[in-house]
Homo-oligomer: A and B are copies of this chain.
Amino acid sequence: MNISILGTGFIARFYAETLVAQRRKDVVNMVYGRSPDKTKKFAEDYNVPNYTSNLKESISHPDVDAVIIALPNNMHLEAVLACAEAKKPVLCTKPLGRNGKEALAMLQAAEKAGIFAGYLEDLCYTPKFLKSLSSINNGAIGRVIWTKSRESHPGPHSDWFWDKEKAGGGAIIDLGCHCVEISRNFIGKDIRPVEVMCWADTCMHPIDAEDNAVGLVRYENGAIGQFEVSWSFRGGMDLRDEVMGTEGTIWTNNFLRTGFEMFSTGSGDAYVAEKSESNSGWLFPVGDEVHELGYNHMFTDMFDAIENSKQPLETFYDGYIVNAIIDAAYQSARTKKWEPVIIEDWRGTTEVNQHHAGTSYDENYYLIKEEILPSGEKKIILKNKKTGAIEKR
């Protein structure tokens, strides 16, 4: 498949590195960038035969089979509309829009044009995530009660991220979009996100947007998806997820503690560890960053889906739901109360299983807890169904 990449920055380079490595059969044969110099350099670095500073041309070129949008947030809508017009399959980086309204416009444009529209949410494609999800779907941890996804680091590389207008916000829109969609997958995409409570503050940087936030998203079945984001974390890139189920637990750590630990006095001149804040002391390098971040599996899913006329795991609709949740989060940070998630076009289930009422022990009692004491003795704690009294046996 012949690919056009729109953008030449940090994320565009990550995408290109993924696509040109590991003897993949797909080819990057076009790159668009606003800066002619950077664009030319990008084309040289990744052996891209065509490059241009004309957006429409980079999309409509006859040798382009699919378009990857790797542009700043404020340019996504325009680029998607151009793809829709050109009837080209489009893959857009995260977040889809700066807000739900923009995301909805992109979704509707793509659907109206009938084009493939994939949402490049890489962290829903990391090997740990994919296996976690399949374990949950197989029932390994029971019913999901609560998930937490945390992404934090010392702040983004590119300047436009720090501009609230261009980015659509701060750490929530930048990092929270990952966290929200991770939780949503674990809880079930079919389950409606109902309301959001969020704290956000500017704790460290001289910026208008938030650099720290914590939010709780409540789903219709009672499950909670928690997100924690920060642009002021010290120590590298902290990407961790947790899931609590009624029958089990999942903990994943994608970056800082992955079984690769190095101590260096720093005497070697050349060594630089990615995203580490230093090159001496205890370091926690990442083996293969594009793999650890899910890019391999993401592009495989996307291109396979295009070829087989299927839906990818992550679609523009998912991107829209994420934006809708984030809109509610920002609203809640302002109003200081839970705010409803406003979804124009809910496509999931409307019949939700409520929380279990608890395990019945016998005709008269619910079982609260059964436990084996160190003495070997068995202890049972019950609740009387009629009186509500707690009893021990």
Interface residues in chain A, defined as those with a beta carbon under 8 Å from any beta carbon in chain B: 21-26, 126-132, 135, 138-142, 145-146, 148, 152, 154-155, 157-160, 162-163, 197, 199, 201-208, 212, 214, 216, 218, 222, 224, 226, 228, 230, 232-236, 244-254, 257-272, 274, 277-288, 291-292, 296-297, 299-300, 303-304, 336-338, 355-359, 366-369, 371-374, 379, 381, 383, 388-392
| Interface contact A261-B267, CB-CB below 8 Å | no
Beyond A157-B371, A162-B369, A235-B248, 18 additional contacts (C-beta under 8 Å) are A23-B300, A24-B24, A131-B287, A135-B268, A138-B268, A139-B268, A140-B279, A157-B379, A159-B381, A163-B390, A214-B216, A214-B224, A234-B263, A234-B264, A247-B264, A248-B265, A282-B282, A288-B291
Residue in contact with A234 in the complex, picked from B226, B265, B292, CB distance below 8 Å: B265
- The 5 listed contacts between A and B (C-beta, < 8 Å) are A127-B287, A155-B369, A159-B392, A207-B368, A247-B264
A131-B285, A232-B244 given as contacts; is B296 within 8 A of A22 (CB)?
yes
| Interface contact A203-B336, CB-CB below 8 Å | no
A199-B216, A245-B234, A281-B281 given as contacts; is B23 within 8 A of A304 (CB)?
yes
Total identical chains: 4
A393: nearest residue on chain B (CB-CB)? B159
- Tell which of A214, A266, A368, A391 has the most Cβ of chain B within 10 Å: A368
- Tell which of A145, A214, A287, A288 has the most Cβ of chain B within 10 Å: A287
A36 to B368, CA, bound (A): 27
Q: How far is the CB of A114 from chain B (nearest CB, A)?
A: 24
A202 to B277, CA, bound (A): 35
Q: How far is the CB of A280 from chain B (nearest CB, A)?
A: 7
A208 to B368, CA, bound (A): 11
A37 to B320, CA, bound (A): 50
The 10 A-B pairs with the shortest beta carbon distances in the complex, nearest first, are A127-B287, A206-B358, A281-B281, A139-B268, A235-B263, A253-B259, A127-B288, A206-B366, A337-B337, A25-B25
Q: How far is the CB of A100 from chain B (nearest CB, A)?
A: 22
A249 proximity list for chain B (CB < 8 A): 233-235, 261-263
A380 to B287, CA, bound (A): 28
A146: nearest residue on chain B (CB-CB)? B212
A297 to B274, CA, bound (A): 20
A84 to B272, CA, bound (A): 43
Q: How far is the CB of A87 from chain B (nearest CB, A)?
A: 23
| Interface contact B263-A135, CB-CB below 8 Å | no
A205 to B157, CA, bound (A): 43
A204: nearest residue on chain B (CB-CB)? B246
A281: nearest residue on chain B (CB-CB)? B281
Q: How far is the CB of A236 from chain B (nearest CB, A)?
A: 8
| Interface contact B230-A130, CB-CB below 8 Å | no
Q: How far is the CB of A23 from chain B (nearest CB, A)?
A: 5
A226 proximity list for chain B (CB < 8 A): 214
A148 proximity list for chain B (CB < 8 A): 228
Q: How far is the CB of A302 from chain B (nearest CB, A)?
A: 10
A271 proximity list for chain B (CB < 8 A): 135, 138-140
A252 to B263, CA, bound (A): 12
Residue in contact with A258 in the complex, picked from B259, B266, B267, B381, CB distance below 8 Å: B259
